[in-house]
Amino acid sequence: MGARAGERVVVVSDRASDVRTTGIVVEPLTSKHLAGFAKLFESASSSCFCRYWHFTGTKNEWLDRCANRPEENLAEQREALVRGDVSARGLVALEHGAVVGWMKLAPREALPKLTSLPVYRQLAAEPGTWTIGCFVVDPKARRRGIARALVENAESYVASQGGRAIEAHPRREAVPLHDEEAWQGPEQLFVGLGFTPIHDASPYPVYRKVVARPTT
Q: 107: domain CATH number?
A: 3.40.630.30
Residue 53 within a domain: yes
Note the helical H segments in the chain.
5-8, 34-43, 59-68, 70-82, 112-115, 146-160, 187-192
Residue 143 vs residue 195, higher pLDDT: 195
Please enumerate in sequence order all residues whose Cβ is within 8 A of that of 28, keeping only pairs 6 or more positions apart, or say none.
89, 90, 91, 92, 157
- Please give the pLDDT value at position 176: 80
Please report which confidence band the pLDDT of residue 19 belongs to, taking 50, 70 and 90 as the band edges.
very low
- Please give the pLDDT value at position 177: 78
Q: Can you tell me the mean pLDDT for 70-77? A: 98
In angstroms, the CA 139 to CA 44 distance is 6
At residue 175, does pLDDT exceed 90?
no
Query: What does pLDDT average to over the chain?
Result: 88
Percent of the chain's residues with pLDDT above 70: 88
CB 101 within 8 A of CB 40: yes
Q: Can you tell me the mean pLDDT for 93-115? A: 96
- Please give the pLDDT value at position 14: 38
Residue 10 vs residue 81, higher pLDDT: 81
Residue 126 within a domain: yes
Give the chain's domain count.
Answer: 1
- pLDDT tens, position by position, 178-187: 777 789 999 9
CA distances from 147 to 14, 82, 141, 179, 197 (A): 6, 25, 10, 12, 19
- Please give the pLDDT value at position 181: 78
Residue 124 within a domain: yes
Plot region of 26 (φ>0 → left; ψ -120 to 50 → alpha; else → beta): beta
Q: Which residue range(s) make up the domain with 170? A: 5-15+23-210
Q: Is the pTM of this model over 0.85?
A: yes
At residue 168, does pLDDT exceed 60?
yes
Residue 215 within a domain: no
Residue 121 within a domain: yes
Residue 216 within a domain: no
